[in-house]
Chain A
Amino acid sequence: MKNLFKLFSIIILIITSNSYSFAAEKVEYLKTDWSFKGIFGKFDRASLQRGYQVYTEVCASCHSMKYLSYRNLAEPGGPEFSEAQAKAIAASFEVTDGPNSDGEMFTRPGKLSDKFVMPYDNVKAAQAANGGAYPPDMSVLVKARGGGVDYIYSLLQGYEEAPSNVSLDDGVYYNKYMYGNKIRMAAPLSDGLVEYGDGTNATVEQMSKDVTTFLMWSAEPHLESRHQMGFKAIVYLIILTILVYFSMKKIWSRVESEV
């Protein structure tokens, strides 16, 4: 029994240590307390709502979020705007619809069922407007980067003067957390760039944390129910395992052998 436990802990250890850690030159990312980490991790609603504000006022001018719909903003486990608020948010965007009965495309205010409106019509248009670099879609961005939330959080605060031995082309910026340190995005945040409705002080650090929290939710919208279900599932399995263990002992007591 003890041995079995040892076996399983070794297995977990081997697998997790085998997971890819590829950052060629390892940089220490900035650390902060994420409310969504851990077995009972949940999103901070206020932070998600502020994060949405940062996304929509700052990031959304270049970065799309094509897998999200406005209805998601009112769903449980997310920013949980009221339905009226989400409807108002959706209605503030112009959505192209159609063709109508005359065969014409037309625009109308957004509805809850609409996907987030994209800043550019297509990838080429996005590249043309950004000096050839495509601002990546942000829907699953956190999961698409090795360092995850810590990487995004650090990157947003990682803009610095380039060291004297690094020469930068026009439209390229120095960021100490970026792979290769060169990034085509200018520092997107500055203190007081947005005005938070709840009176929170909009420092770069605060905005970075809020928008990263929002991106974590957008990449894993069911994170909260996953954590809750996982806890129940594992507790259930542990209890069942204990019961089966004693049944096994009872059954095997009939034969002269150890289990």
Chain B
Amino acid sequence: MSDHDYRPKSKVGQWFNDRLPLLTLANHLTDYPTPKNLNYWWTFGGILTFCLITQIVTGLTLAMHYIAHADMAFESVEHIMRDVNYGWLIRYIHANGASMFFLAVYIHIFRSLFYGSYKAPREIIWIIGIIIYLLMMAAAFMGYVLPWGQMSFWGATVITNLFSAIPLVGEGIVTWLWGGYSVDNPTLTRFFTLHYLIPFLILGLVVLHIWALHVPGNNNPVGIDVKKPSKDTVPFHPYIVIKDGFALLMFMIVFAFFVFYAPNILGHADNYIEANPMVTPAHIVPEWYLLPFYAILRSVPDKLLGVVAMLSAILILAVLPWLDTSKIRSAVFRPLYKQFYWILVADVLILGYVGAMPAEGLYLLIARVATAYYFLHFLVILPVLGFKEKTLPVPLSITEPVLGGSPNLAAARNKESKIE
């Protein structure tokens, strides 16, 4: 942060700021120089902040009426839906908000993959982001257990049972996680506690995520370092604030559509049946945002190796900055990487699809091929590509092309608008 020379105008402001430099922080946040060529894919950071705050506010309200007890949880949710003033609205925002949160985070992650935002000097931002993503999955999974419907109960049983794959201590760990010999009241109460805790951990990590971002500043679609502040940048306020606000409003329209007109379309009907340990549902499926990893888990015939594969699929992202050997950030100037990028996107969507289907026959075969390709992309294609790929010449700055005019800038702009 280079703006230490800021000094509040009023005497009171100076007095306060000398003791706690909150005004310096506020000034830093408003003046923060941002590349002016950021496209709408960059608005999802702000959207995600909105999602987190929405989940926390609605979650706190729900917790005032929810009862974390195996005999009363389902009924208390119905009480919220029927008798609490606007309880149905708060619960539907919270339930669909989780889906919206993941939708936004996937776009955010894939934006980072396309424009190479994880590369030096932004590795720490990226790794904090992966930790946030892991915590989000934990929070979402435990939140889905709380209504104590059939999918809650059986989802919790399947996922916690994964730990039994650990040799020797596996069974013991599962019993310890459950607080008993099956998913039951102790499991529910601890999941509720952790579900309440994790969002605040995420909030803290988001502060670090943004802090780490403000050291090098934003990456941008061209993927080059920009001088700050310069003709290439605009102050965060009002330029980025209004743009983020506009994108957020568009996002909220989609969000509102789900909440008001299709509030249950993303959930599973079985979760409106109260949990029953005696009856197993025909298909146990996680929420849509976990399906690609569920597909990876099921594509490996061995239980332990399946769990290892699933965890590696996420953790491999943490070392991505070192797996990608290319010095060029933006895919705009990496013709080969760009193609592999879209294949990866398709691969993950296919994994999500087969994750929702029964693990047999053709679906299982597709899941195996897609799983293999997923790891191939990160472990082989990316490292090799950095050495083999012929990249396009990169412009020197966003506004001023190389002396004599760079043909690539025009090409870059063209391509940006295409993928926007």
Contact = CB atoms under 8 A, between A and B. Distances in A.
Interface stretch (B59-67, B137-145, B249-257): B249-257
B412 to A, nearest CB: 13
Given A3-B417, A139-B78, A8 B269 contact: no
Nearest to A257: B36
B88 A222 contact: yes
B40 A7 contact: yes
A117 B119 CA distance: 64
A18 B88 contact: no
A18 B88 CA distance: 24
Given A3-B420, A7-B40, A229 B89 contact: yes
Interface centre among B82, B247, B263, B265 (most CB of A within 10 A): B82
Contact of A143 (B238, B245, B254, B264): B264
A143 B353 CA distance: 23
B62 to A, nearest CB: 16
A255 B36 contact: yes
Interface in B242-298: 242-243, 245-247, 249-254, 256-257, 259-266, 268-270, 272-273, 282-283, 285, 288, 291
A19 B89 CA distance: 21
B365 interface: no
A216 B247 CA distance: 35
Interface of B is mostly: helix
Contacts of B112: none
Nearest to A230: B260
B243 A259 contact: yes
A145 B107 CA distance: 32
Interface stretch (A182-190, A194-202, A241-249): A241-249
Nearest to A140: B272
B95 to A, nearest CB: 12
B82 A226 contact: no
Contacts of A231: 260
Contacts of B273: 136, 144
Nearest to A5: B250
A20 B352 CA distance: 11
A67 interface: yes
B344 to A, nearest CB: 16
A179 B269 CA distance: 14
Given A233-B260, A248-B242, A67 B103 contact: no
B234 interface: yes
B328 to A, nearest CB: 23
Contact of B269 (A16, A143, A226, A252): A143
A251 B254 contact: no
B266 A4 contact: no
Contact of A230 (B82, B251, B261): B261
Given A144-B270, A248-B242, A4 B78 contact: no
Contacts of B261: 39, 227, 230
B340 interface: no
Given A144-B272, A144-B273, A252 B239 contact: yes
Interface of A: 3-4, 7-8, 11-12, 14-16, 18-20, 22, 24, 39, 67, 72, 136, 139-140, 143-146, 148, 179, 219-222, 226-227, 229-231, 233-234, 237-238, 240-241, 244-245, 247-248, 251-252, 255-257, 259
27 contacts: A3-B420, A4-B250, A8-B254, A11-B107, A12-B257, A15-B103, A15-B288, A18-B353, A20-B285, A20-B356, A39-B261, A143-B272, A144-B273, A145-B269, A179-B282, A220-B88, A229-B89, A229-B260, A230-B257, A233-B256, A234-B256, A241-B246, A244-B242, A248-B242, A251-B239, A255-B239, A256-B399
Given A14-B349, A230-B259, 17 more contacts: A4-B250, A11-B107, A15-B99, A18-B291, A19-B288, A139-B78, A143-B264, A144-B270, A226-B263, A229-B89, A230-B257, A233-B256, A234-B253, A241-B246, A244-B249, A255-B234, A256-B399
Interface of B: 36-37, 40, 75, 78, 81-82, 88-89, 92, 99, 103, 107, 234, 238-239, 242-243, 245-247, 249-254, 256-257, 259-266, 268-270, 272-273, 282-283, 285, 288, 291, 349, 352-353, 356, 399, 417, 420
